[in-house]
């Protein structure tokens, strides 16, 4: 897998992404599980506590969810690119 820099961080290029396709897949699965757990706290009964947080905490929470999505998207793109390249 070729080296790539991240674009999902607050400072693009801060992290270098390198590793095997299985490592990238594992990271995608981990981030998806974390995001699922986080978002489960925003609706239904647990959502009441979330909506009770101040605006700044709610914004930061949702920002972290958005960053996780961007990471997943970039990692998925890397997998797709590597598969097309036959690596």
pLDDT, tens digit, 9 for 90 and up, residues 13-66: 788 877 788 999 999 999 999 999 999 999 999 999 999 999 999 999 999 999
Tally of structural domains, the chain? 1
Model pLDDT, residue 82: 76
In a domain, 11, yes or no: no
The domain of 45 spans 20-85
In a domain, 1, yes or no: no
pTM for the full model? 0.81
User: What is residue 6's three-state secondary structure?
Assistant: coil
CB neighbour list of residue 69: distance below 8 Å, 6 or more residues apart: 35
Question: How confident is residue 87, by pLDDT bands cut at 50, 70 and 90?
Answer: low
Model pLDDT, residue 37: 97
Model pLDDT, residue 2: 53
């Amino acid at each position: 897998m070729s080296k790539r820099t991240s674009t999902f961080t607050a400072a693009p290029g801060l992290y270098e992404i390198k590793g095997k396709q299985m490592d990238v897949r594992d990271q995608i699965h981990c981030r998806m599980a974390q995001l699922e757990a986080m978002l489960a706290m925003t609706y239904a009964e647990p959502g009441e506590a979330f909506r009770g947080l101040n605006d700044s905490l709610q914004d930061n929470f949702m920002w972290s969810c958005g960053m996780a999505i961007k990471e997943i998207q970039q990692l998925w793109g890397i997998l797709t690119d590597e598969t097309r390249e036959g690596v």
